[in-house]
Amino acid sequence: MVVLVLSILIGFPVYIAAEETLGKEMLVNGDFEQGNPPEKWATAFDVVLSQDINPHSGKYCLKIVYQQEGKGGYARQDVYPVPGKKYKLTLWYKCEPGSTIRIAMYDHTNGKNLSPEHKTDYIWTKHEKTITIPAGCKSAGVLLYPFGTGSIVWCDDVSFREIEEATD
């Protein structure tokens, strides 16, 4: 029993020491402070920079609305990651009560969403996801959109960075 407790006590700090190191930011205007619609983001339908709720940072955040069937807004920014490497996607999001946001990476080469997730939190909430880029993927886009007609969602402080391998 004593040995077990000791190994937990010793093992835990060792695990913490192996925390990941992140490479440089690959997204531009992830805090949505530039342009309206936001610079560097591909957008469709109802996508605006919004001050109508408190942004998570600065003066603006992204607001996306899915007003009617077939006309769902989205925002996407493409990046050029290295296949086989791991990346960390983080962002803050908030949903109108009853609304859902879909957060994904769209793999343009293979034509599919990587690690799509649905969230419904209606206060600012941090989303953090490790994504391994599949073989052959030459470009992928951080893709944010409301899921389902009538959904309204907000995003801010989106980040996409490589998780660097430990060298020792």
Beta carbons of 93 and 125 less than 8 angstroms apart: yes
The answer to the question of residue 72 lying near Ca ion (CB under 5 A) is no
In angstroms, what is the minimal distance from the CB of 124 to Ca ion? 11
| ∠ Cα 32 34 35 (to 5°) | 105
Instruction: Based on the shown chain and the rule CB under 5 A, indicate whether residue 35 belongs to the binding site for Ca ion.
Output: no
Interface with Ca ion by CB under 5 A: which range of 49-57, 78-86, 103-111, 115-123?
49-57
Distance CA 138, CA 109 (A): 6
- Where are the alpha helices (H) located in the chain, listed in sequence order? 2-17
HEC letters along 76-139 = EEEECCCCCCEEEEEEEEEECCCCCEEEEEEECCCCEEEEEEEECCCCCEEEEEEEECCCCCCC
The one segment of 60-68, 72-80, 108-116, 140-148 that binds Ca ion by CB under 5 A: 60-68
Q: Would you say 133 or 153 has its CB closer to Ca ion?
A: 153
Nearer to Ca ion by C-beta: 31 or 162? 31
Binding flag, residue 156, Ca ion (CB under 5 A): yes
Query: Alpha-carbon distance 86 to 101, whole Å?
Result: 23
Kindly state whether residue 107 participates in binding Ca ion, applying the rule CB under 5 A. Answer: no
C-beta of 8: minimal distance to Ca ion in Å? 41
Stretch that binds Ca ion, among 15-23, 27-35, 77-85, 123-131 (CB under 5 A): 27-35
Strands 47-50 and 61-65: antiparallel
Out of 38, 55, 72, 141, point to the residue binding Ca ion (CB under 5 A): 55
Q: Is 58 among the residues that bind Ca ion (CB under 5 A)?
A: yes
Binding residues for Ca ion, rule CB under 5 A, total 7
CB 95 within 8 A of CB 130: no
Query: Which chain residues interact with Ca ion by CB under 5 A?
Result: 31-32, 55, 57-58, 61, 156
